[in-house]
Structure 1
Amino acid sequence: MFGRLLLSAMVTFSLLFTAVLPAKAQERFDRSSLTVQTASGGKYRFDVELALTPAQQAQGLMFRQSMAADAGMLFLYDRPQPASFWMKNTLIPLDMLFIGADGRIVNIHDRATPQSLDAVNSAGPVKGILEINGGMAARLGIKPGDLVVHQAFGTAK
């Protein structure tokens, strides 16, 4: 009996915490735009939110129900480093483009599974990660080696 009550209390607390957290912990994000230039000559513009602080990076795109086709979130680090992400509390599938300090895409993780706790890792040190709608990279022909044009990588003109 005590075990059932304890389990019920834990589930209730977990649900309340999850329901309250998004409203209470919402971070504001600056906005920017960037272009991905593919080796085949494609140029694709995205309007992105910038995740610059640890709090913004921890929140990311959690609890979002949808995202515009030309939108995304750009996570930026002060220096290149290995990166690892998960999809906890993220409700939409995402492509994660891991970007080196030179603006070149190091690797892409296609269609990260919503709410998954599995680690999604960079293939080496990166300065940024661009999250876009799941499947978008494949639809646009974006591949590792393609260039992300943004001032954070010194590639903007």
Structure 2
Amino acid sequence: MGSRLAQTGLTRLVAATALLVASAMAAAAACAPGVVELKGPRGTARFAVELADTNATRAQGLMFREKMASSAGMLFVYDRPGRAMFWMKNTLIPLDMIFADPTGKVLRVHENAIPHDETPIDGGDGVFAVLEINGGLARRLGIGPGTLMRHPAFAPGPAALPCD
């Protein structure tokens, strides 16, 4: 009987350790360069992202892409906050554009940008990063002004939703 109790205790210890390791791995994955996590009043959403942090990658953006997974996106990161202007020239899929300040706080969301439209989309002043996801997802997930974005790019912010 003592052996059975010891086994039960060991099983619980192993399960608790596995849960702690899984939680730590999930937190670390949420702060990887290829992942953006958004936390708002309706919960948390994660996107696997391509990083656009150079003039060349920002200029290319998501142009000529015929599709994008619903769990994917592109994160545009700038050297310093400023006015962010986008357009949809050569972009084939509708996009939601989520504009964030240097702390990762969402300032504005432009929903369902129209493919091929060359009308400027103004994200406003103080924009440090822009997350592009499939059109309509921001509304479905409850992403709006005030939502917090987690990514290593916001570390110097100081981040509103820190990685650590």
- Superposition TM-score, scaled by structure 2 size: 0.75
Does the Cα contact within 8 Å between 2:101 and 2:127 map onto a contact in 1? yes
The equivalent of 1:49 in structure 2 is 50
Which amino acid letter does the alignment assign opposite residue 39 of structure 1? P
The equivalent of 1:39 in structure 2 is 41
Q: CA deviation at 1:34?
A: 1.3
The equivalent of 1:118 in structure 2 is 119
Does the Cα contact within 8 Å between 2:86 and 2:122 map onto a contact in 1? yes
Superposed CA offset, 1:69-126 (max 9, x none): 0000000001101100000000000000001001000000000000000000113211
The equivalent of 2:163 in structure 1 is 156
Q: Percent identity?
A: 50
Note if 1:60 corresponds to 2:61. Answer: yes
Which structure's CA Rg is the greater one? 2
Gaps of at least 5 residues in structure 1 are 1-30
CA distance in 2, matches of 1:39, 1:79: 28
The equivalent of 2:139 in structure 1 is 138
**Runs of 4+ with >4 A deviation:** none
The equivalent of 1:70 in structure 2 is 71
Which amino acid letter does the alignment assign opposite residue 32 of structure 1? G
Q: CA RMSD in A?
A: 0.9
Gaps of at least 5 residues in structure 2 are 1-32, 156-161
Which amino acid letter does the alignment assign opposite residue 156 of structure 1? C
CA distance in 2, matches of 1:107, 1:48: 19
The equivalent of 2:15 in structure 1 is none
Provide the secondary structure at the position in 2 that maps to 1:148. Answer: strand
Report the count of equivalent residues: 126
CA distance in 1, matches of 2:80, 2:96: 22
